[in-house]
Structure 1
Amino acid sequence: MRFRLPSIYVEQPKSVFAEGNPRWTNRDLDPIPRHLRKWGVTSLIAYWISDSINVATWQFASGIIAVGLSWRESLGIIALAFFIISWVIAFNGATGVIYHSPFPVLARASWGFWGSYVAIISRVILAVFWFAIQNVNGGNAVRVMIGAIWPSFLNIPNHIPEEEGITTNGMAAYVIFFVIQFPFLCMHPNNVRWLFMAKSVIVPIAWIAMLIWAFTSTDGGEIFHQRPTVSGSAYSWAFLGSLTSVIGNYATLSVNQADFSRYSRVSVKWQILYVPMLPIIFTFLSFIGVAVSSAAQAKYKLATIPWDPIEVISLWDNRACQFFGAFSLALASLGVNISANSLSAANDLMALAPRFINIRRGQLICALISWVLVPWKILASAGSFLNFMSAYAVFLGPIAGIMLFDFWVIKGRKYDSVALYQPDSIYRYTKGVNWRAIVAFVVGVAPSIPGLANSVNPNVNAGVGVHAYQIGWFVGIAGTSLVYMALSYIYPARETQIERAVLPDEIYESRYGVVDGVPLGKDEEGSGHSANHGKPTDEGKGGFKKFVRSMDRIL
């Protein structure tokens, strides 16, 4: 067999969703057929436990305490924030369970085909940057792991200029973490769920062990005796600002939860599980961060609280504990980078160029861009830029609101799954743009812009506008939703309001028929089975042929 390079084009399915419009779909963007839905209740729970365990969750309380509130109030704010955001996550995730399409496709129903690019580009920017920054967190954990095994590694002479924000051994650890992460970027979401399950077991054990250490080694530290240092209106704005900040950290997943829920094989009712689960999990993990960081300050007589868990682990004398503690943080960074960043970025990039990018190529492109961004330098020198990235929720709140109320209120939960892939369909709106969504988005974001500018550059005087920014997510989602619903009722897009939903399952079954639960003409990826009643094909026999086919699947 003659060797051939992988095609620049990705596989375009011969499906009713793709006919005549390869510009708008590919195999990975098509609705997930029933036989490829592998995520059950256990997978969904493991995914969220995995996603919650990361350095950011550990540090949630630190920012709240820093503005003058106590640890009790910080945990209360975290619980309330996730109670609020869990409803948005559940309702937007339900759309993916029903229609089994990703966020970029579902966004066409409310934004129009070209208008959806506003939501897609807003989301992909955030995903790529946070992927890069999580790589630095993972590299820092790997550095401590190697130092625990080989202490002289930490004393390797540094040959990188100080202004770059990274040392020679830090760069080596970053590269090692990146290499370890690479195979997971090539996995299909159905397979990567096993990573989430492993992380949801291993990392909580390690973090609970740290909590036990905190309470057995000290009395907990001074932080548990501190009281609020602000009062009156300053207290109120500190409370609301902190609430918005915590919500903002997970505003992304409130927008694109369908990217993962589309693989669900269980009833849509299971999405409501997030409402009690998320506040409990995130609050408990944040409490671990408070207790362990405070105990470390008391035990090692530090002037300030070490909120970075890597710093806490580095203080331990026992090298085995150092290794396993750092391993838990590296695994935490790996899991959250896949679940919250690379897969989300891949879906968005894929929607921008479906003829050239599939879900694997999208993840690899995201990883490549992360190197170009030199994230270690961003973390070392661009505090104002990180403030901007954290404040990005002012854009995501309006996007979530539009999609939420469009599906549940305006469209009455009735989408046409075929029309979502046909650019001249009922979701064409005005030249591919739903102007109602654009107007509502601008109205929702505008009040927060002065405060956002001030957060990036303190020399910009925002006046009272800083308060609108402090609660920007609430202002955005409320204002945008009200304007969008008002415009949709006053100037309705009647062609989009259909009598009954057109679900992908009925399309697959009516077009292809079903054999043993597998739609005819639909291959299960990597199975070697197709529409031949489950009999394996001869294609791909032989080691070299399998290698070539594997490269095709990866790229």
Structure 2
Amino acid sequence: MPFLWVALFTWALTAADGFGPLLYTPSKPMNGMSTGYLFCYAITASSSGANSLAVNMPDLTRFARNPRSCTIAQAIGLPVALTLTYVLGVTLAATSQVLYGQIYWNPLEMIQVWDNRPAKFFAALLFAFAAITTNVAANSISFGNDLTTLFPRHINIRRGQYICAVLGFAICPWKIEKAASNFLAFLNGYSIFLAPLSAIMLTDYYLVRYTSGYNVSQLYTPKGLYWYCQGVNWRAIAAFLCGLLPLLPGLIHQINAGIGGITRGYLNFYSLAWLDSTILACISYYILAIMRPFPKQANTEDKMSWAIYGQEENQTVSPSSQSERGGNSVIKVE
């Protein structure tokens, strides 16, 4: 894919005589939205892809050898690789307007109008390869992990991935990609559900619990520190709704523009859906955590069974001493 990316980018600039025609072609805002809000709308749609990876990232980083390897991969993978991908997409769309007189927002549509059949074949082959590998890493594994967590007695990660593959066809994704408006509406709608989730996780870790850290054993202890209210963190649910509900009118209009009563102000607010939802959920969760603070330590000591390099040692470990354990330890809660 990197070689194809370079080839497409080079061809686009050469065929369109450089960046000049691409940059100076006038914009034509549609649907009554100004250029500024359309720009925000496009940024929100682009960030939706990164937001889904940010939420699903622990499904893969859990297997990292150390935190540094995760940091390096994320620092390169998300901001650099995704930005280059978006730059290529915008460049190809602008090139299609210069060469063919119409905008091909989907690179595959522009590849179809090429005259060179071998080039069309290899480009389509690499795009298919990229789609399969990206979905396995970004969607299939995370979906399998989620189903395994919900139904551990019946579903493992592999079975969850098979279910994901079936559902992937059942939702008819080709209808979503049929038009640019449908695809952007899907991405923006996707963001208002994922943005509150990532905002709550970041707020909980960096603002609410940063000074006290996490008690690893209590994460796996029923009715422990993180049991919350009957197993439900109502603060997170309330913050999620605070980040979601104000943006629903804009989402409804994107799905069905014929529904009345939705003003331009709602639509302009929805153009920054990812940022708006993140800020609302973050503030709501932090305020609720201050008003109803979480317990800071367990009421009782945990009886743990440590399996260290094949040798088991039964002992009672207090929450304060658990963080001192290191190495390749496997903790079993009795």
Deviation at 1:338, TM superposition (A): 0.8
Structure-2 change in CA distance of 1:216 and 1:343 (3 Å): same
Q: State the TM-score, normalized to the length of structure 1.
A: 0.50
Partner of 1:512: 307
Distance 2:165 2:266 in 1: 37
Matches within 5 A, 1:476-495: 476-494=277-295
Partner of 1:472: 273
| C-alpha contact 1:387 1:455 (8 A) present in aligned 2 | yes
Structure-2 change in CA distance of 1:243 and 1:343 (3 Å): same
| C-alpha contact 1:414 1:498 (8 A) present in aligned 2 | no
Which protein has greater RCO, CA pairs closer than 8 Å, 6+ apart? 1
- Structure 1 gap ranges (5+): 1-202, 500-506, 523-555
Distance 2:131 2:34 in 1: 35
Distance 1:242 1:419 in 2: 42
Alignment pair present for 1:454 and 2:284:
no
Deviation at 1:291, TM superposition (A): 3.5
Deviation at 1:518, TM superposition (A): 6.7
Encode CA deviations 1:7-63: one digit per residue, 9 max, x unaligned. xxxxxxxxxxxxxxxxxxxxxxxxxxxxxxxxxxxxxxxxxxxxxxxxxxxxxxxxx
Alignment pair present for 1:237 and 2:37:
yes
Distance 2:181 2:96 in 1: 26
Distance 1:381 1:216 in 2: 27
Distance 1:471 1:512 in 2: 49
| C-alpha contact 2:45 2:184 (8 A) present in aligned 1 | no
AA partner of residue 55 (structure 2): V
Partner of 1:131: none
| C-alpha contact 2:249 2:266 (8 A) present in aligned 1 | yes
Partner of 2:228: 429
- Structure number with the higher strand fraction is 2
AA partner of residue 25 (structure 2): Q
Distance 1:373 1:215 in 2: 37
Alignment pair present for 1:342 and 2:140:
yes
Encode CA deviations 1:92-133: one digit per residue, 9 max, x unaligned. xxxxxxxxxxxxxxxxxxxxxxxxxxxxxxxxxxxxxxxxxx
| C-alpha contact 1:219 1:295 (8 A) present in aligned 2 | no
User: In the comparison of the two structures, how many residue pairs are matched?
Assistant: 306
Partner of 1:415: 214
Deviation at 1:411, TM superposition (A): 1.6
The percentage of counterpart residues that share the same residue type is: 34
Structure-2 change in CA distance of 1:309 and 1:384 (3 Å): closer
AA partner of residue 213 (structure 1): W
Distance 1:416 1:336 in 2: 34
Structure-2 change in CA distance of 1:266 and 1:425 (3 Å): same
Partner of 2:190: 392
| Aligned Cα root-mean-square deviation (Å) | 3.3
AA partner of residue 200 (structure 2): I
Partner of 2:324: none
Matches within 5 A, 1:514-529: 514=309
Deviation at 1:218, TM superposition (A): 4.4
Distance 2:183 2:122 in 1: 33
Partner of 1:265: 65
Q: State the TM-score, normalized to the length of structure 2.
A: 0.79
AA partner of residue 355 (structure 1): R
Encode CA deviations 1:232-270: one digit per residue, 9 max, x unaligned. x93432333332222123222222211111111133475
Alignment pair present for 1:404 and 2:202:
yes
Task: Name the SS for the 1:238 alignment partner.
Answer: helix
